[in-house]
Structure 1
């Protein structure tokens, strides 16, 4: 299937602080990581983002270009490149603090070749860009599959109940949602993660909601039931970018299954469980490689010969 995926959202530099007191800088950002994963898996990935014309911006641009990601026009209009401070615990799990500047480049929109528009994370909640993100998504539904990962950042999103309302506005527009159990524990602390996912399918209209449970694997909820796939055993270096690489692999799998594009919305709504299991297994393989490496460093296709 010819075409491309348009990711709309943040690209930035992660400054990673390790438990031993050392630190290192890595290019990243949730939407950039998704686009990078798609590029490394051989897909045409385009990213509408907001970078500065500075040294860190040059680092991010080179990193994306090396994996075949195309930046949308106007993506270099920021006064400075945003930074995320990621602090790792002894298990390699990251917590974040942010210095951000986010806008959607003028003119960003799906075109005739856009099979899917993906957004989420900071881009979907931080103004002034968040309002424009929603407008891009609403307009794109006519031609493209809409995919969404809330990737909750409590330090930026304020009150959890208000954040959940904003998140669910985008869930209503999405065909596919990927969300972590940690996100749902914050957004809906009184409700089991899979109960939230079921409501997002049956009440809000998503065709496929995938909940990731870290080392416990992932569960997909569809209108016809649920599928669970375990994670791959691996020695974890850190979890930076793991969920984003999972999301990129999910888009890649849906592309391979010929389920992207608005004209495939009905087929996506009736996706069979065998296909879902194959998708999640591939996602697990991609995420396992990512967590075995420092920073947001997803695999290339050649790294997945046995997946």
Structure 2
């Protein structure tokens, strides 16, 4: 069965001091779908793009990575202006629309349902995600909130929405920056405990160069970041998510039964994939062939 990814696809306009702006396909869920396709997974992507040049560019880019796209192109494609600092980190400004056509989904079941980022919070498409979760027959559901405070509203508005979604998933991946915004008064350890208490069987928290923490109710590990020369960090977290989904897709054991060694293997593999992406310019996620080089 295929993996279903739901969420935004957009054009990243990358701005760096002293250099011309460059345009690149982006959107966290689009990156996840693309990364899964590049690793050879059968993936469908429900999204919302325009019928303009940018939309055509996005569709061609995703199809080149073997993604089956479910969309009804119309209007203008969403954009994100990413301003890169000297250390390679990015800040974003968005022009967005999120209104996917869920009638394009067939009746066949999927092995995994993944959703995330802006699409989980932005109306009217967020209601589509709710309906699909209501009807979900997938054995595994994953969520990456990829918090963008300038888009999703105030903390008072966004936290209840985040927690309502987190209660409905099996795998929750987020960054330490996301966690600090959601739970600023909690320590890192307490944040993870709080997230597990919401109901996910597996929580993964990425921490940039400090590695990642993976936790279940019975095990908790810290996987080191792979050593690499960083070009920029665009797509690093999305690559980590891709790796988790890809590996869990082949995992037979229940998430709650994962051993410490199995959690560490998941984290180390994800860190290795993310290292490939950050060594490249833009969200250029690994292909299967990169894993054998």
User: Where do 5+ consecutive residues of structure 2 fail to align?
Assistant: none
Query: 8 Å contact 2:201–2:255 — kept in the other structure?
Result: yes
Query: How many correspondences in the alignment?
Result: 293
2:17 match: 19
Indicate the residue corresponding to 1:50 in structure 2.
48
* 2:218/2:256 contact within 8 Å kept: no
Give the CA deviation at 1:138.
2.5
In structure 2, the residue matched to 1:66 is 64
- How does the TM-score come out when normalised to structure 1? 0.92
1:63-92 superposed Cα distances (whole Å, 9 cap, x missing partner): 1011100002xx133311110000000011
1:98 aligns to 2:85 (yes or no): no
Shift of 1:109: 4.9
Aligned-pair CA distance for 1:28 = 1.0
- Give the equivalent residue in structure 1 for 2:247: 253
Question: Cα distance, 1:152 vs. partner?
Answer: 0.1
SS of the residue corresponding to residue 206 of structure 1 reads coil
Residues 75-94 of structure 1 mapped to structure 2, 5 A cutoff: 75-94=71-90
Q: What secondary structure is seen at the aligned counterpart in 1 of 2:35? A: helix
Aligned with residue 230 of structure 1, among 224, 239, 244: 224
Matches within 5 A, 1:271-286: 271-286=258-273
Deviations 1:219-242 (A, max 9, x none): 011010201100111111111111
Match of 2:208 in 1: 214
Residue 240 (structure 2) pairs with residue 242 (structure 1): no
* Corresponding residue to 1:197 among 192, 195, 209: 192
CA distance in 1, matches of 2:108, 2:26: 28
1:147 matches 2:142: yes
TM-score (norm 2): 0.96
Partner of 1:263: none
Residues 112 and 143 in structure 1, CA contact (< 8 A), matched pair in contact too: no
1:193 deviates by 2.9
Aligned counterpart, 2:171: 176
Show CA shifts across 1:113-169 (max 9, x none). 4011111110000101111112212211x3331100010001001211321111111
4+ residue runs over 3 A deviation = 108-113
Of the structure 1 ranges 83-92 and 270-279, higher mean CA displacement relative to structure 2 is found in: 270-279
